[in-house]
């Protein structure tokens, strides 16, 4: 009976509520910030030049970007896109692009807030995220605890076990390796990285994410280059299918919208409240909350507009030649059709990198929220570490449909709480953004400084942004 109720609520949440809520959130901040994702798109890339500056108190802006990308770019970028095309047709890709465009504004808003309400822990390192701006900005400790509990369960235990399961399945299918052996190796490597704390995770992400991203994009661009004459037709097909110009009825259009939006929302994670945990840990350059918001907005662009689009073009170029597979098998067979059998092994390795980086980033998010569960101590951290690593081994060999359903429920609720907080804190987001923009227009390097009264009225951590 519990399973039926969880399934019913998830269907309602992910099939209806979150689509409207997250889409509305993206449109709202696109309007309030006057299409900031478009007007400042070039500026976002200019900020990358100084994003690797190190700090004794936090990770660099680039490391925060890499950590959030590590969590965003997972096996879903290879598998989920294939499922969206299968169920929603090529038109699903257009709606995936559109939701990512609005999602860039949401990502900016939540990561700017994460920076604004950050604080220092006992080791003098920065921490922050939705739980922090719910507690400080909204003065709601209860909402912060509820959010942290949802994130802790989903990101701390379940989602990483699902990534591990995808990796072990891929290696078993491609190389015949026992899933348990692959799972143990993954667990040992993950343990080595996470025991070093957030800075160690950020350093790993800083190296692994660009490597895996460039390698995947290089292969995808090679395939696209070989078939460049077909690309205009595929783009035209995506757009026409999105609006039903090739179909007799509107049912296919509805499927394209639903699956494209769902894929876009689930992949780019904008509004879910996960990436602000990484964004808040950074010491941005220039030293202004909005600068990290711009950097994190780029993560949505990289995840959906680049990686997901590459997967979509590889699949659509194959045009279903001799294959009726779904999910990751469809992506593997589509690449193999273009480059030969090694394409299957390449996708398997891509799953390893995409999935493993998601695993370690998920741990960072869970660890960041221990404070609001009264577990930010030696016992609490070891409980998370042991449980997290145990679930990796367990998830490598087990199918966890009931647990995954509960994790989807917790993530859905976490997203609802975060979006409500974003709407309620819109005034602070707009104020910080205007401050940044005015300094840019004056030719200054943006620096955020507040007086004691502003610090108190906004609920900011004392001395973090004080003049």
DSSP track, 347-409: HHHHHHHHHHHHHHHHHHHHHHTSGGGT--SHHHHHHHHHHHHHHHHHHHH---HHHHHHHHH
424 versus 355: the higher-pLDDT residue is: 424
Residue 246 has pLDDT above 70, yes or no: no
Predicted confidence at residue 397, as pLDDT, reads: 81
> How far is Cα 126 from Cα 464, in angstroms, rounded to an integer?
10
Q: Residue 248: what pLDDT?
A: 45
Structure tokens at 297: 């907005």
Neighbouring CB atoms inside 10 A of 326's CB total 14
The count of other CB atoms within 10 Å of the CB of residue 172 is: 18
Q: What would the pLDDT profile of 437-457 be if each residue is shown by its tens digit? A: 999 999 899 999 988 888 888
Specify the pLDDT at position 173.
78
Q: Where are the alpha helices (DSSP H) in 58-178?
A: 61-72, 76-88, 91-116, 130-136, 141-153, 159-175
Higher pLDDT, 52 or 96: 96
- Angle at which helix 401-424 crosses helix 141-153, to 10 degrees, equals 150
Average pLDDT over residues 175-198: 89
Report the C-alpha gap between 367 and 355 in whole angstroms. 19
What pLDDT, on a 0 to 100 scale, did the predictor assign at position 323?
Answer: 54
**Looking at the predicted structure, is the pLDDT value of residue 320 above 70?**
no
**Region of poorest pLDDT, from 172-176, 189-193, 309-313, 374-378:** 172-176
* pTM metric for this prediction: 0.90
Q: What is the C-alpha to C-alpha distance for residues 263 and 315, in angstroms, rounded to an integer?
A: 15
| Cα 278 to Cα 62: distance, rounded to the nearest angstrom | 11
Q: How far apart are CA 236 and CA 336, in angstroms?
A: 24
* Closest by Cα among 249, 275, 338 to 70: 275
Q: How far apart are CA 363 and CA 340, in angstroms?
A: 36
**Numbers of helices and strands, H then E, in the chain:** 23, 2
Contact 446, 159 (CB under 8 A): no
Q: Dmax over Cα atoms in the chain, in whole Å?
A: 68
pLDDT at 250: 47
Task: Identify whether the C-beta of residue 97 lies closer than 8 Å to the C-beta of residue 301.
Answer: no
> For residues 2 and 430, which has the higher predicted lDDT (pLDDT)?
430
The sign one gets for the Cα dihedral 300, 306, 309, 310 is: negative
User: How far is the C-alpha of 230 from the C-alpha of 319, rounded, in Å?
Assistant: 11
Query: How far apart, in whole angstroms, are the C-alpha atoms of residue 173 and residue 87?
Result: 24
Compute the distance between CA of residue 144 and CA of residue 381 in angstroms, rounded to an integer: 19
> Does the pLDDT value for residue 249 go beyond 50?
no
Domains, the chain, with CATH or none:
2-458 (1.20.1740.10)
- Predicted confidence at residue 30, as pLDDT, reads 95
Average pLDDT over all residues of the chain: 85
Q: Is the dihedral of CA 55, 57, 58, 61 positive or negative?
A: negative
How much is the pLDDT for 324?
Answer: 52
User: Can you tell me whether residue 126 is helix, strand or coil?
Assistant: strand
Buried-exposed string 102-135: b where 16+ CB fall within 10 A, e elsewhere = bbbbbbbbbbbbbbbbbbeeeeebbbbbbbbbbb
């Amino acid at each position: 009976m519990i399973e039926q109720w969880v399934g019913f609520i998830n269907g309602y949440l992910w099939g209806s509520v979150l689509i409207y809520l997250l889409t509305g959130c993206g449109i709202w901040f696109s309007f309030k910030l006057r299409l900031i994702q478009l007007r400042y798109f070039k500026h976002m890339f200019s900020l990358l030049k100084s994003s690797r500056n190190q700090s004794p108190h936090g990770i660099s802006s680039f490391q925060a970007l890499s950590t959030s990308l590590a969590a965003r770019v997972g096996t879903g970028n290879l598998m989920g896109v294939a499922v969206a095309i299968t169920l929603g047709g090529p038109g699903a890709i257009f709606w995936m692009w559109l939701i990512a465009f609005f999602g860039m504004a949401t990502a900016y808003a939540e990561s700017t807030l994460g920076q604004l309400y950050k604080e220092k822990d006992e080791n003098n390192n920065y921490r922050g995220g939705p739980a922090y701006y719910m507690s400080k900005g909204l003065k709601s400790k209860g909402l912060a605890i509820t959010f942290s509990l949802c994130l802790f369960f989903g990101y701390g235990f379940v989602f990483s076990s699902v990534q591990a399961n995808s990796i072990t399945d891929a290696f078993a299918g491609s190389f015949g390796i026992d899933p348990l052996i692959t799972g143990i190796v993954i667990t040992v490597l993950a343990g080595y990285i996470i025991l070093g704390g957030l800075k160690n995770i950020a350093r790993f992400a800083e190296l692994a994410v660009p490597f895996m991203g460039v390698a995947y994009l290089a292969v995808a661009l090679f395939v696209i280059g070989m078939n460049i004459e077909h690309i205009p037709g595929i783009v035209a097909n995506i757009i026409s299918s999105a609006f039903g110009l090739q179909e007799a009825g509107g049912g296919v259009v509805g499927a394209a919208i639903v699956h494209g939006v769902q894929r876009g929302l689930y992949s780019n994670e904008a509004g879910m409240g996960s990436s602000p945990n990484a964004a808040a840990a950074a010491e941005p350059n220039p030293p202004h909350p909005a600068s990290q918001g711009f950097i994190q907005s780029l993560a949505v662009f990289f995840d959906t507009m680049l990686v997901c689009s590459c997967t979509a073009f590889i699949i659509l170029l194959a045009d279903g030649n001799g294959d009726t597979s779904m999910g990751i098998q469809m992506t593997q067979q589509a690449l193999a059709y273009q480059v030969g059998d090694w394409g299957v092994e390449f996708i398997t390795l891509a799953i390893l990198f995409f999935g493993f980086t998601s695993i370690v980033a998920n741990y960072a998010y869970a660890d960041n929220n221990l404070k609001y569960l009264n577990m930010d101590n030696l016992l609490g951290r070891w409980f998370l570490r042991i449980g997290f690593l145990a679930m990796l081994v367990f998830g490598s060999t087990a199918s966890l449909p009931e647990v995954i359903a509960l994790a989807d429920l917790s993530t859905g609720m976490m997203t609802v709480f975060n979006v409500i907080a974003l709407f309620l804190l819109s005034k602070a987001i707009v104020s910080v953004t205007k401050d940044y923009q005015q300094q840019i227009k004056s030719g200054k390097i943006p620096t955020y400084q507040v007086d004691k009264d502003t610090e108190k009225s906004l609920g900011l951590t004392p001395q973090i942004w004080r003049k």
